[in-house]
Each structure stands twice: as C-alpha cells, then as structure tokens.
Chain A
Amino acid sequence: MAFHMNEFGVPKFRRLGTNVLVVHADGSRRLENQERIWRLHAAARALDGVCESVPGMNNLTLLYDERIAPDTLERRLREAWDMAVPVGARSRTHVIEVRYGGTDGPDLAGVAAAAQLSEREVVRLHASTEYVVYFLGFQPGFAYLGDLDRRLYLPRRDVPRAVVPAGSVAVALHQTAIYPFASPGGWHIIGRTDATVFDPLRSEALFAAGDRVRFREHA
C-alpha cells in the first residue's frame, strides 16, 4: 500500500532563525525514522526555494528562501513523510579496504583491551558488519556510519588527538567513520584506508545518506 499513516509517529516541525525549518522524527526506532528523514531530504531537495537540506540523526534542517513559504514547505514535507517510498532504492553499497592496527590503527590495542577482546576479534567484528550512512557532517565527505557491534561501543577519547591522518578509520560510541582529511579528532583510530572518500576536484562525496558500507581487511 502506498500509505502508512503515522506508522512512525508524527514529525515535529520547528522554525529556527529567519529562514530555517527543522523536522524532528519522534520515537526510538532510529533507523526506520532515519529512512523517513532520507526520504524527506530527497523530497526537500527537489523543491524550488530549498537552498540546503541537512540530515542529522533523526532530524532534518532546511534552509529556504523567498521562493517558498514556510507553511507550503511544511505541508509538502508532511505529505512526503506520509508517503511510503521504496526504501534504499537509490542507495549504493561500498566496500572499503582497511589496514587494521599497527601505525595505521594506533588505538586498536586500546579498543581491544577496553572491550576485553583480542585485536583479531575487534577487526573481525568491525569488518563483518554492514553499516548504514546515517548522515554526513563534521568534514566534507565525513559519513557517520552505524551501528557498530555493541561489544565495540566506547566513549570518545578523553584527550582528542591534535592530528588524525586522512584516511583513518575510527570508532566512537555506536559509530564508525573514515576521516576524509587530516584534522583534530577524538575517535579511536583502528585502521586506515587508501580509499578516496572525498575528492572535491573529481566529484561529490563518495558516500550519501542511506548508502551501505562494508569494511574488508587489506590482504
């Protein structure tokens, strides 16, 4: 059926500043709600007058201009929310090769110790999960991937590193990510990839919200 009215609760719409509308998905079903957020994002980007549409975790922030009235925008988004669209039809699956541990993953031993697992087991768990791109942020092309195997959940480092090298594969809380650029960072670095996740001169970011990502240990 085309309609699943309010199956995931009613979204909350809030104005912010002059020309910003924020949509919050309600409830605790994080991935199902996030799929609705991606659909809203796709619908919003197709609307004249929407300048930026930024998915967050179970929320969407829309910057619009005078070409669309906020009430109209809200109505269109409510319609999109209620419309069931095939999930993941446009999403892609990426396989990323990672060199785990050693100088490429200086925190692998620490993560293993904290999880009371061997380094091999941490690598196996990290590389055997299919992750979902929830949203992008922090840096160009930086994708928040979830969910880690529960056994690998760790808070961020107490003292962030001044420089996390580009290509670092890191974990924190329920998430994992690849740093597209060298930057300060507070996540635990368990490996490194040569994959280019963002090359502004070539094209857009490699990952898009809704994509699937798998890691494979470098042979």
Chain B
Amino acid sequence: MTELIVEQAAAQMLVVDRGRFGHRHEGIPWCGPADALAFDIANVLLCNPPDCAGLEVMLGGTRIRFGSTVTFAITGADCDAALNGRRCANWAKHVAPEGSVLQLRPPSRSVYAYVAVSGGIDVPLVLGSRTTDVAASFGGFAGRTLREGDRVAIGTAICPAGASFAIAPPQLNLHAGAQSDGVTVLRAIAGGEIERFDERSRTQLWEERWSVGYQSNRMGYRLHGGALQYVGEQLPSHGVFPGVIQVPPSGEPIVLLADAHTTGGYPKVGVVIENDLPLLAQRRPGELVRFRPVTVDDAHRAAEAQRQYVQAIRALALERSGR
C-alpha cells in the first residue's frame, strides 16, 4: 500500500478536500481548505480529480516520509520545502522516490501550505467527503490533526508522473492587485443588516484598515480596528456561511471561513467574495486588510477570471504529464 508517514507534525495538519457539502441543514459545516485556490491548484498540478483529498499544513514545521515513489505538489505558504535535504520549488509538482523525506519549514509569511499527492489522500468518505471536521472529530484522518507516527494511505495515481514543473504563484498574476501599501484588499458585497448600522459605521466598514486578531482560526477571522454600531433589534437565528462578515456586540467584525457554523445570530454587513477568502485566510495576526465594495456582477467576473486562470494551469499540467 502506498502511504506517507508523519515524522514530525505541524501545529495543525489536516486531511482536507473541497468540503462536505449539502448538509448545512443538519448543522454540518463545510470544513474545506482555508485557501481553496492553493488547494485546487495542488490537485490541478497533479491532474488529480478536484475531489481528491490533500494535506493542509498550518505554519509549516513538518516532515513527511513517502513509503513508495509518489508524485506530489506543494502550494500555498512558502515553507522553504526540501526533498531529501534539497530545496524544492513551491507551487510545483515533484516526484519523490521511495523513502524520500519532504520537509516544510515555518514560512516567513502566509499561514497555510498544501501538499497534494497523485491519487489523493485515501481516507474513508464520511457524508460524501474526506475532509476533517475538527470541532466534531469526524472525517479526515480519525477526525483529528495528524500526529507524529501517523501512517496515511495514498490513493492510486490516475495520471502518469511526468516531469517536475513549477508555476508562478498567484500573487504574481491573479492576485497581483490584492495588496496595496501592505494592506490586503478584500472584495465584499454589502448586504444583510448593513442598513441597520449607523451612518458612521457604514462608512467606516470600507475605510478602516482592519487588523487580523489573534483569535482567528479556520472558523473565522476576528478583525480589530474599531466598533461598528448596530442600531437594529436582536435577530432570530439564521443561516451563515464562509465569507459572511458578522458583527458581534463588541462591534468588531468577524469574517467566517471554512469551518464556519451553519447558523448564527449576529447582524451581517456583507459577504467577502469567495475568490478573496484565500487572501484573508493567508493573513497573520496583526496584518492589515481592507474591504472594497463590489457588485454581484463583479463577483461573477472575479469567479470567471479565476476559473480561466485555473483552467490554464490545468492545460499546462496535462501537457507536462506527457498526455
């Protein structure tokens, strides 16, 4: 059996796939990758089907040994990866001979790195998905973060290994305009209860440079910068989902991410567009973000641009796989 062995565990290292969809009415969150673009590209580089599971490594600091020859891809936070002691490029596909050791160091910036393997991580499907629900302890590898000594099965490779190759990171093209003066710009659609915030708050939402708080995780990122003043009444519980910007009584917004609960009660001021959630997820506590208002049409255009971007990588990956 093809497998990988965890020789050194990161602070959090999860088996993830695109998410556990269609069960939010049962209280079951998606629990997909924090950076869905980096995760998707890792699978695309290997010509894996998009539903293949991979590893999400938080803040590096891990060592993985491959039990047999495995083609893998690394994307996301640059962890100065080394294969058998030799540096190997990020946003790239590589071939690891049997017994190889892949090391990911703590990245100097960003948070989440992805390791995909040809054929995907082979853990049982739970309610249609292989992703890990850490809060409820199911799915993924025994419902938990990987630990030293864990042996994780790898599925059967579908595509030929082909040659190693790397792409330019999305920061250089797709996301080139996302940073301005060290502030990450997140496109958001105003909505929810925004009309029931006072006028000053409705301006402040878009003008403030929000700082990512330390109490941020895969459920949501807390932002600091000022208090938005809600003047409406308490809301009955309602559905929420990744991207929703909710405002608890403190007035400081929380942007919900991959592990977001299915229902909530806080007023909402809008929704960060899906394509920009990876930009937020990769920010660290203390880093600055700003919201930029966009329309639904803008969001559809952004989604289309990303589809084309990923499609171009897919075409390249197929070509390089020798098909």
Contacts and interface: CB of A to CB of B under 8 A. Distances in A.
Contacts of A144: 237
Given A22-B239, A137-B263, A16 B192 contact: yes
A16 B270 CA distance: 7
Nearest to A201: B126
A52 B23 CA distance: 7
A8 interface: no
A54 B274 CA distance: 19
Contact of B271 (A18, A51, A209): A18
B27 A17 contact: no
15 contacts: A16-B189, A16-B244, A16-B271, A18-B296, A18-B299, A58-B236, A135-B25, A138-B27, A139-B27, A140-B26, A180-B136, A181-B137, A198-B136, A204-B23, A205-B28
Interface in B111-133: 126-127, 133
Q: How many A residues are at the interface, by size bracket?
A: 35 or more
Contacts of A57: 236-238
Interface residues of B, number: 41
A34 B96 CA distance: 56
Contact of B191 (A16, A45, A51, A204): A16
A81 interface: no
Given A136-B25, A139-B136, A144-B237, 20 more contacts: A15-B191, A16-B244, A16-B271, A17-B299, A18-B303, A54-B263, A56-B238, A61-B238, A63-B241, A136-B263, A137-B27, A137-B237, A139-B261, A140-B26, A141-B28, A198-B136, A200-B136, A200-B139, A204-B23, A205-B26
B24 interface: yes
Given A56-B239, A59-B238, A183-B135, A140 B21 contact: no
Interface of A: 14-18, 20, 22, 41, 45, 51-61, 63, 135-142, 144, 180-181, 183, 198, 200-201, 204-205, 208-209
